[in-house]
């Protein structure tokens, strides 16, 4: 079996759960690989998940959206990426019953942008697409053989439908353009770094707070759980030994009912399950079981190492030692998640010692840690958790928006340059001036650079004059007036 050796890997979604373990593992085990992480820092992410890798010279973090074609193309070329491990996605089934458009946007469109960038740049030697067991739909309760990689895809909820849709695009780019793709479909994963909207960390945090553990429906649904380090190892194996064009299930034969997971958590916290477990309204649709045949991956040499008891204990120890890892996640701990814990709500790192450290590292030590993270405003700007970038804020609607958002602080491109100490060059126009008493026609007296625009006879001249005024108020600037 030929082994593949990557050089420069782009990992998407690695400020999230699984990919943070994969990234940290690859950086630890392969100091010769460059790892570039692209993550938009959605509500479920945490830069702290990448702490073990921060000081490594082969690590770089870029905050950004996989849906931005410009950014993705730039990264592939600038970082000479030869391998992509694509984890970024909206992942919470519960949320997909609400705003499912976000799932289509991030999971299908986002994947499409990545694939197109691979096609355009033509330098990718491996595209590892991370999918899920849920694309197979539910397994019959009495089935003794698990879904194998050629089984039909029959997703039952919007999340799994978008994951299946993304897979179709991946497959098509493999066939149409010869993109060297590999797809994985994994069982549920648990362990440190997981956002507490998911079952196991949610139960642990609720048990820590002495609150009831809510179970959707009657708790008879069966799930298969793999410990995160075992899954990270599976990705390491697939990266090096996986065959192009193939799909690999990452599974376990060990299954347990949701009610039994709750009971095991109660046991660890010495709680009485009879009083602590509460049954709540079920999801609109709740698959009974996902059972995978994992023979193909086992044939590559991977096997599950961590027992359920060991993994659950390690997970509990981690959450109890890091109770504030996620800040206030009360919305995620409700039986059904609230708006604030949903896609598109960016995580705020303001209060995090760690987030600030990352920002200052970016400024002071960029060659060593290569962190590219949002830089906080300058000391004179009032501290505010949100800032809005409004294009055209001097216009009518933009102006109204500006007033509404004033308390939060608004940004235009010139403000961004000021915040980052960048010189901004404006290619302005002489069409903002007209002859007047001080500059009569034929007098030879021209307008100077510092003169105020006096011609607003066209929308063009008017808006160009507005740009000048933004510059004067906002940033370090340089004008070049062109006389046409």
Active site residues: 133-134, 159
Residues near 80 by beta carbon (within 8 Å), at least 6 away in sequence = 7, 8, 123
Burial of 170 (0-12, 13-18, 19+ CB in 10 A): buried
Least Cβ distance, residue 201 to ligand NAD (angstroms):
10
Closest CA to 12 of 77, 68, 93: 68
Relative orientation angle of helices 110-121 and 158-177, to the nearest 10 degrees: 10
Give the residues lining the site for ligand NAD (CB under 6 A): 12-13, 15-19, 38-42, 44-45, 65-67, 87-91, 106, 110, 130, 132, 163, 186, 188-189, 195
Based on CB atoms, which residue is closest to ligand NAD, 187 or 370? 187
**232 in helix, strand or coil?**
helix
CB of 266 to ligand NAD, least distance (A): 22
Sequence-separated contacts (24+) of 305-311 with Cβ below 8 Å = 305/227, 305/229, 305/230, 305/233, 306/227, 306/229, 306/230, 308/225, 308/254, 308/256, 308/264, 310/227, 311/190, 311/191, 311/225, 311/227
- Beta carbon of residue 333, minimum distance to ligand NAD (angstroms, whole number): 16
**Residue 146 or 453 having the CB closest to ligand NAD:** 146
Which residues contact residue 197 at a Cβ distance below 8 angstroms, ignoring those fewer than 6 apart? 44, 92, 94, 95, 329, 332, 337, 341
Rank residues 84 and 414 by Cβ distance to ligand NAD and give the closer one.
84
Q: Which is nearer to ligand NAD, 12 or 461 (CB)?
A: 12
Residue 42 or 264: which CB sits closer to ligand NAD? 42
Q: Based on CB atoms, which residue is closest to ligand NAD, 328 or 406?
A: 328
Half-sphere exposure of 359 (CA within 13 A, CB side): 16
Instruction: Please say which residue, 128 or 475, places its beta carbon nearer to ligand NAD.
Output: 128
Q: How many residues does the chain have?
A: 484
Task: Give the residue at shortest CB distance from ligand NAD.
Answer: 16
What is the closest distance, in whole angstroms, from the C-beta atom of residue 448 to ligand NAD in the complex?
47
Q: What is the distance of C-alpha 38 from the center of its chain?
A: 7
DSSP per position, 453-467: P---SSHHHHHHHHH
Which residue, 160 or 410, has its beta carbon nearer to ligand NAD? 160
Which C-beta is closer to ligand NAD: that of 39 or that of 230? Answer: 39
Q: Which of 169, 138, 160, 165 is nearest to 151 (CA)?
A: 138
Closest CA to 197 of 313, 309, 326: 326
Nearest distance from C-beta of residue 184 to ligand NAD, angstroms: 8
Specify the DSSP class assigned to residue 47.
G
Helix crossing, 258-268 with 199-208: angle to 10°? 30
H or E segment and range at residue 28? helix 18-29
How far, in Å, CA of 98 to CA of 337, rounded? 10
Token pair in block for residue 258: 């949701």
Please answer whether residues 44 and 76 qualify as being in contact, where contact means their C-beta atoms are separated by less than 8 angstroms: no
Asked if 385 and 407 count as a contact pair (C-beta separation under 8 A), the reply is no
């Amino acid at each position: 079996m030929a082994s593949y050796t990557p050089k420069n890997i782009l990992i998407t979604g690695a400020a999230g759960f699984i990919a943070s373990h994969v990234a940290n593992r690859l950086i630890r085990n392969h100091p010769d690989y460059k790892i570039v992480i692209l993550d938009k820092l959605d509500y479920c992410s945490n830069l702290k998940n990448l702490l073990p890798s921060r000081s490594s010279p082969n690590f770089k973090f870029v905050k950004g959206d996989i849906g931005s074609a410009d950014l993705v193309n730039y990264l592939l070329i600038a970082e000479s990426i030869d391998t992509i491990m694509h984890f970024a996605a909206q992942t919470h089934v519960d949320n997909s019953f609400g705003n499912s458009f976000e799932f289509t946007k991030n999971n299908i469109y986002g994947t499409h942008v990545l694939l197109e960038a691979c096609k355009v740049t033509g330098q990718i030697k491996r595209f590892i697409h991370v999918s899920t067991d849920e694309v197979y739909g539910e397994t019959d309760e009495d089935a003794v053989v698990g879904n194998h990689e050629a089984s039909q895809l029959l997703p039952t909820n919007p999340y799994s439908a978008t994951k299946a849709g993304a897979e179709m695009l991946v497959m098509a780019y493999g066939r149409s353009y010869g993109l060297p793709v590999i797809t994985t479909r994994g069982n549920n994963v648990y362990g440190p770094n997981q956002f507490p909207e998911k079952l196991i960390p949610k139960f642990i945090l609720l048990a820590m707070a002495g609150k009831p553990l809510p179970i959707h429906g009657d708790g008879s649904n069966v799930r298969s759980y793999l410990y995160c380090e075992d899954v990270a190892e599976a990705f390491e194996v697939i990266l090096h030994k996986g065959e192009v064009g193939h799909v690999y299930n990452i599974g376990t034969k060990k299954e347990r009912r949701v009610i039994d997971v709750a009971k095991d958590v109660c046991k660890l916290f010495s709680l009485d399950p009879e009083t602590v477990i509460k049954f709540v309204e079920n999801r609109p649709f709740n698959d009974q079981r996902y059972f995978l045949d994992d023979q193909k991956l086992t044939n590559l040499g991977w096997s599950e190492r961590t027992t359920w008891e060991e993994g659950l204990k390690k997970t509990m120890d981690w959450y109890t030692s890091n109770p504030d890892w996620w800040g206030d996640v009360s919305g995620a701990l409700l039986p059904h998640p609230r708006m604030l814990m949903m896609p598109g709500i960016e995580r705020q790192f303001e209060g995090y010692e760690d987030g600030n450290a990352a920002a200052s590292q970016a400024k002071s030590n960029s060659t060593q840690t290569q962190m590219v993270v949002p830089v906080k405003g300058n000391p004179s700007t009032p501290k505010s958790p949100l800032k809005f970038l409004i294009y055209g804020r001097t216009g009518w609607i933009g102006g109204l928006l500006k007033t509404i958002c004033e308390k939060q602080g608004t940004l235009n491109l010139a403000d961004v340059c000021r915040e980052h100490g960048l010189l901004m060059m404006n290619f302005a126009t002489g069409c903002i001036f007209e002859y007047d008493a001080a500059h009569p026609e034929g007098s030879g007296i021209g307008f100077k650079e510092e003169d105020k625009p006096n011609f607003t006879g066209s929308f063009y001249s008017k808006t160009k004059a507005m740009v000048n005024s933004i510059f004067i108020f906002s940033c370090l600037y340089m004008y070049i007036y062109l006389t046409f």
